[in-house]
Structures are given as structure tokens and as C-alpha cells.
Amino acid sequence: MSTLKKALADNAKAVGGVLDELLVIGDGPESRVVEAMRYTALSGGKRIRPFMVTASAKLFNVDVDAALRVAAAVEFIHCYSLIHDDLPAMDNDDLRRGKPTCHIQFDEATAILAGDALLTKAFEVLADEATHGNSAIRVELITALAKASGDAGMVGGQMLDLYAEDHALQMPEITRLQRMKTGALIAVSCEMGAILGHASEKACHALHAYAHDVGLAFQIADDLLDVEGDEKEVGKKTGKDAAAGKATFVSLLGLERAREQAELLVDQAASHLDIFEEKANLLKDLAHFVVHRNT
């Protein structure tokens, strides 16, 4: 197993442990919503965003437990967005990470509530002094995550994605859509590590540039998987964009150029981290992994 794969697996296990601890099933019948939260949050996944939090935090020698709790908060946001995105009124997906989606396994109402509760929990975790002793750092983390995931970030990107169903977007618009929809949460994952680490402006800037390029590369890889991926391997339905007639990086650039563009972006992403020298090797490897994954 490569160093990166081992680091990803170790991180996924550690983050999973924190998520497990944070989602406590109570006695009453309302605990069904916690079961639904756990169903999605503990269903595996590569935990790429949490890895970005912990790996960027490591650049600044941040306390591991603090980084893991912040990583869990980011994963809560990611999981809530998956649950709501899969709903019949949104993407109407039955399959996610190779398992029935939350509203199929439970029901639509429970899935809506589970998403809401995960979103709320993310901020509760960040506000907790167990995450960081300094409240100024905690509000900075909360502000960054809220901005990245709200109407000016991820949710705005999802709104654009719905708009794209009826409108033929061109490259600048698709790029903006993806920066908001997937890029913002990826970027903030790296930013959280920098906030925890009281990083210099130069370091923040480098991480931001890295995250921006990785985010786009990640999305191009996603578009490629939707065209070329095997449904069983990918763990979710493929061929959806073409079926919906949606413009993507692949439909606009073609397979060949999309692949080249993704490679170019990951090289560029890695080069932004040169200032951290060998400490950034895992994040550099991650950039390449993101493009070459098959799930």
C-alpha cells in the first residue's frame, strides 16, 4: 500500500471514530433521526475532505484531536449535502457509496431531517471548546465553514446546478458552478487546517491556490467517472449528466482534453505547495490520487 493510501485509510478510521462518538443514539423514538445521520455519516467513503483538514493542519503541527474534530464537522456538512442532493426533488438518486441512499433506506422526511441535523451538528461541534481552547479560533472556523457551505458557496452551487438542467452553460459558468458546488468545501477544508495552525498569509495563499486547483480537478475526474466509470465500482449511478443533457467539463472539452486539463491542474496544485517542502508530500500525492481514483 502506498504511503498516501495508508494515510488516507488511517485518517478515515480516525475520523470515523470521532463521527461515531459525536452521533449518540438516545432512548426516545426521535433517535431514528440519529440512526439516519449515522447511516450516511458512517457509511465509509474516502473521507477526502477530512483528510485535507488533517493533512493541512499537520503542515503547522496542529494538535491531532483538534484537527480530527474539525475534520468531522466538515464531513457532517458533506454528508448532509449528499443526503439532500440525493432526494427525489433534487438528483433523485437511489444509490450512494454502493448502498441505498438515506431516503430509500429510511424515508424522505427522515432524510430531510437527518440532513438538517447533520448541518446543525457541524456548527455545534466547531463551537465546542473541546475543539479548540480559543474561542476566537472557533468563530473563525465557523465563519469559514458557513460561508463555504451556504448560499454564497455550496448551496449556491447546487442552485446553479439545477439552473444548468434547463440552460446550456459555457466554460466560465461551469467553472463558477463547480467552484461553488464542490470547490468551496474542498477549499475550506484546507483553510480550516491553516486557521487551526495560525498560518502566515503566504501559507494560506498557497493552500488556497492548491485547494482551488484540486477542487476543479476533482470535479473533472467526477465528470469523467460519470462517462467512463463502472456503476458497481463507482458506487453510484453513472451516465447521469449525459442523460440529463447537462453541460460538463467533459461535454465541453471532450474526454481527451478534459483528462489533460485535470492532469495539468493537479501538477499546478502540487507546485503551489513547494513552499512547505517535503511536509506537503501527502497533499501533493492526494492531488494526483483525486484525479486517478476510480470511485
In DSSP terms, 100 is beta-bridged to: 95
Asked whether position 29 contacts a second copy by CB under 8 A, the answer is yes
Quick one: which of 9, 162, 171, 242 contacts a second copy (CB under 8 A)? 162
Asked whether position 127 contacts a second copy by CB under 8 A, the answer is yes
Asked whether position 133 contacts a second copy by CB under 8 A, the answer is no
Shortest spacing between CB 278 and a second copy, in angstroms: 35
Asked whether position 89 contacts a second copy by CB under 8 A, the answer is yes
Residue 154 in contact with residue 180, Cβ under 8 Å? yes
In DSSP terms, 95 is beta-bridged to: 100
Asked whether position 240 contacts a second copy by CB under 8 A, the answer is no
Asked whether position 167 contacts a second copy by CB under 8 A, the answer is yes
How many angstroms separate the CA atoms of 278 and 39, rounded? Answer: 37
Q: C-alpha grid cell for residue 154?
A: 455550496
Neighbours of 103 (CB within 10 A): 23
Closest to a second copy by CB, 84 vs 212, is 84
- Taking CB under 8 A as the binding criterion, the range among 43-51, 117-125, 215-223, 226-234 that sits at the site for a second copy is 117-125
The Cα angle at residue 84 between residues 126 and 129, in degrees rounded to 5 = 5
Using CB under 8 A, count the residues that bind a second copy: 54
Quick one: which of 7, 8, 18, 33 contacts a second copy (CB under 8 A)? 33
Taking CA atoms, 8 is separated from 15, 89, 190, 264, 285, in Å, by 10, 33, 15, 23, 11
Residue 187 in contact with residue 208, Cβ under 8 Å? yes
Report CA Rg, the chain.
18
Cα within 13 Å of Cα(285), Cβ side: 14
Quick one: which of 101, 110, 248, 251 contacts a second copy (CB under 8 A)? 110
Shortest spacing between CB 5 and a second copy, in angstroms: 33
Quick one: which of 63, 107, 231, 233 contacts a second copy (CB under 8 A)? 107
How many angstroms separate the CA atoms of 180 and 148, rounded? Answer: 8
Asked whether position 99 contacts a second copy by CB under 8 A, the answer is no
In the three-class reduction of DSSP (H, G, I as helix; E, B as strand; rest coil), residue 46 is classed as coil
Closest to a second copy by CB, 22 vs 206, is 22
Name the residues that contact a second copy, by CB under 8 A: 26, 28-30, 32-34, 37, 80, 84, 87, 89-90, 107-110, 112-113, 115-117, 119-121, 123-124, 126-129, 135-136, 138-139, 142-143, 146-147, 149-152, 155-160, 162-163, 167, 176, 180
